[in-house]
Structure 1
């Protein structure tokens, strides 16, 4: 009965959101299961009902965030062409929107510096980048681009939008607040295609 009450009161989603925020603002090593529980107003024991250890909690955050981003990218890939935006432009805009509107998630996914934690992110970063690259390559005309360009252009586009997000994420602005700058950046990048 007590476990059921804890499960109903303290959801997995609430724990993930609080832990995500604490990991980004204070650092993974500075946060304990006890401090996450205190932040939520619960004992740390109630967290163990959902997660066996802090590393499992961190990995759940990473997986959830990359799954969400890959879902958004897959939607772009499968969506019909639109006259005002080509697929690559939509891809870059959606990536920027995700990064700025989910700043804490983006920082954990792509900007974390801790080597131990990077091991949790590398495979997911590669999965996300491969989907991103496949969308860019589908849009590229193979008769106009070399084989080398088919590999370097997606990476250059990714690095350019990552730099854009990294620059604006420091100010905690939303996508809507800098939408004109994002659109201008994307249009400039896509001129190479």
Structure 2
């Protein structure tokens, strides 16, 4: 039996999440196991269960952090200086930028379907969409229909989905992203 690790090397939630994040980005969800994460951390897989009930809960902890980062980007523009229309376009552009600069993470957040994690990941996605919806409505000069906001979201998601894998990052699609964002913002400002 190996001696217990010193306190400075105790297994933490952050250590587990960091390793899980790396593995989920590099491999398919099904190829990652609690054992493979534990192996990389140099601990028993049972030690992981002290912090997380199962792989789905660990996956949720990873993507929840991604959604928090995306929400923070939106908040910065809503609360920042500038005209509402320019801020709205900035939010749309940051959404695309986030998606294209974090393609693997974006796929985990919005595109992966798995019965084991759908319930948990859908919760985080819904909270992100609510944040997006509130931000868009607060910057609009008219009362938008839910369907209009959803259409804007789907249009942005479609853009990221289309360019994901074809460009290495946002910079490679920057010009066309600007045009797309202007188009969406203009459509939202038209009378219903």
Q: Same fold (TM over 0.5)?
A: yes
Q: Could you tell me how far apart the structure 1 residues matched to 2:104 and 2:12 are?
A: 19
Residue of 170, 173, 178 corresponding to 1:175: 170
Q: What does residue range 13-162 of structure 1 map to in structure 2 within 5 Å?
A: 13-38=14-39, 40=40, 42-45=42-45, 47=48, 50-82=51-83, 86-142=86-142, 149-162=144-157
C-alpha change, 1:28 and 1:44, in structure 2 (3 Å) is farther
Q: Per-residue displacement from partner, 1:152-193 (whole Å, max 9, x unpaired)?
A: 221111001101111122235211222112112111222212
C-alpha change, 1:122 and 1:108, in structure 2 (3 Å) is same
Which residues of structure 2 form unaligned runs of 5+?
A: none
C-alpha change, 1:103 and 1:151, in structure 2 (3 Å) is same
Q: Which residue of 2 aligns with 1:6?
A: 9
Q: Could you tell me how far apart the structure 2 residues matched to 1:54 and 1:112 are?
A: 15
C-alpha change, 1:167 and 1:25, in structure 2 (3 Å) is farther
C-alpha change, 1:171 and 1:19, in structure 2 (3 Å) is farther
Confirm whether residue 188 of structure 1 aligns to residue 190 of structure 2.
no
Q: Conserved in 2, the CA contact under 8 Å of 1:20 and 1:104?
A: no
Q: Could you tell me how far apart the structure 1 residues matched to 2:79 and 2:25 are?
A: 32
> 1:100 Cα shift?
1.5
Bigger Cα displacement from structure 2, 41-50 vs 88-97: 41-50
Q: Could you tell me how far apart the structure 2 residues matched to 1:86 and 1:22 are?
A: 38
Q: Conserved in 1, the CA contact under 8 Å of 2:92 and 2:181?
A: yes
Q: Conserved in 1, the CA contact under 8 Å of 2:78 and 2:139?
A: no
C-alpha change, 1:180 and 1:61, in structure 2 (3 Å) is same
Q: Conserved in 2, the CA contact under 8 Å of 1:87 and 1:135?
A: no
Bigger Cα displacement from structure 2, 104-113 vs 155-164: 104-113
Which residues of structure 1 form unaligned runs of 5+?
A: none
Q: Conserved in 1, the CA contact under 8 Å of 2:101 and 2:170?
A: yes
User: TM-score normalized by structure 2?
Assistant: 0.81
